[in-house]
Amino acid sequence: MDKPAGKRHSKKILVRTLSVLVGLVAIAVASFALSPVPGAKVIKTLFDADARNKHDDMQQILGDKNDDVIVHSDISYGTKSSDEKLDIYQPQTTDSSLPVIIWMHGGAWISGDKTDAAPYFKELANRGFVVVSLNYSLAPEQSYPTQIHQLNDAYGYVKNEIADYQGDTSKIILAGDSAGAQMTSQLAAITTNPGYAQEMNIEPQLEKSDITALILYCGIYKIEHLAEPEPTLSKILSWGNRTAVWSLTGTRNNRDSATIHQISAFHHVTSDFPTTFISGGNGDPLTNVQSVPFAEKLESLGTDVTTLFYPEDHTPALPHENQFVLDEDGLAGFEILVDYLKKQTA
């Protein structure tokens, strides 16, 4: 007996619908496999939301006590891109000359903004520092080494102009978190390693003598650990790392590629590398494979290194970017940082 026409029609619709869904899934899978852009958009959305939450939490904890800090916003430090902007946080003080902190934000090279840690920067300013927070072009729209050249230009701008904002150019601290720590460490290596600067075709805008110290939070110093699947990480974290590196470089580099080696400051530091403060949380999967080995490498070269690490069993476990979580541990860590900065700039 023939099936009723209605049932046959419904079955055809179901088959067509399933075919369309399978096709859409295939297209989605292919798009993630062929380009870093879809994955980068997912990561950017998640990271930007986390950054907003951290900003709001810091603002709530610190309150309005830093509202007197003068903020000079969206100052152009370059002419090649509208991304080349910086903010300056200047305390209300009669002191004529204050140490300068130049901060490079994180965000896996594909997200983040110079205002993400504004409450944190205002607190630093009221502790006696002029704080400069930088923007740069994000990947994958702009790939490496664009960001390194922008950072170098920004350093030159600050060196030439910061005296107008009570900044002391003899006391410059370079700082960064996560991807910002990676770029900060790389340019510090370029500044203190002439062969590396030549390889990068960069004329450093700072001299070694201009750099008082580095502040590096939760950074990446051996990019090869992110470029391929990492067995110690969950599949989603490993995918995110590989997507971020792919977005930055524009190609799917393996861990032994020349580009990955060039980006990694670990391979280019010398005994001339500046005095450095390095920190990472015990709940951050990057700490033991990035921050700790980098600190050990610098110490082996004779660099003066100060670390802020935590025991493996520290509770609560401190996550990536824990310095911006101003709970009891975060506030204590902030005081340790300020004490370090005061000693280095005394």
What one-character-per-residue DSSP string does 224-285 give?
Answer: HHHHS--TTS-HHHHHHHHHHHHHHHSS---TTSHHHHHH-GGGT--TTPPPEEEE--TT-T
Residue 38: is the preceding peptide bond cis (ω within 30°)? no
Structure token digits, residue 66 = 């830093």
Q: SS3 for 188?
A: helix
**269: number of CA atoms within 13 Å, CB side?**
26
What pLDDT sits at residue 207? Answer: 97
Q: How far apart are CA 109 and CA 30, in angstroms?
A: 23
- Parse the chain into domains and list their residue ranges: 37-345
Residues constituting the chain: 346
Please name the residue ranges forming H helices in the chain: 5-34, 37-62, 118-125, 146-161, 179-192, 194-200, 224-227, 235-249, 258-263, 292-300, 328-345
Q: SS3 for 166?
A: coil
| Strands 167-177 and 276-279, bridge-based pairing | unpaired
Q: How many CB atoms lie within 10 A of CB 346?
A: 7
Q: How far apart are CA 303 and CA 344, in angstroms?
A: 14
Decide: 181 and 280 in contact? Cβ < 8 Å: no
Residues ≥6 apart with Cβ < 8 Å to 332: none
The string over 220-236, giving b where at least 16 C-beta atoms fall within 10 Å of a residue's C-beta and e elsewhere, is: bbbbbbbbbebeebeee
37-345: in CATH 3.40.50.1370: no
User: What backbone phi and psi angles, to 5 degrees, belong to 221?
Assistant: -125, -15
CA-wise closest residue to 316 among 282, 286, 279: 282
Residues ≥6 apart with Cβ < 8 Å to 18: none
What pLDDT sits at residue 134? Answer: 99
pLDDT in tens, the chain (346 residues): 555 555 555 555 555 555 444 443 443 444 556 799 999 999 999 999 999 999 999 999 999 999 999 999 999 999 999 999 999 999 998 778 999 999 999 999 999 999 999 999 999 999 999 999 999 999 999 999 999 999 999 999 999 999 999 999 999 999 999 999 999 999 999 999 999 999 999 999 999 999 999 999 999 999 998 987 777 788 899 999 999 999 999 988 678 899 999 999 999 999 999 999 999 999 999 999 999 999 999 999 999 999 999 999 999 999 999 999 999 999 999 999 999 999 999 9
Q: How far apart are CA 159 and CA 212, in angstroms?
A: 13
What pLDDT sits at residue 9? Answer: 54
CA-wise closest residue to 118 among 98, 102, 133: 133
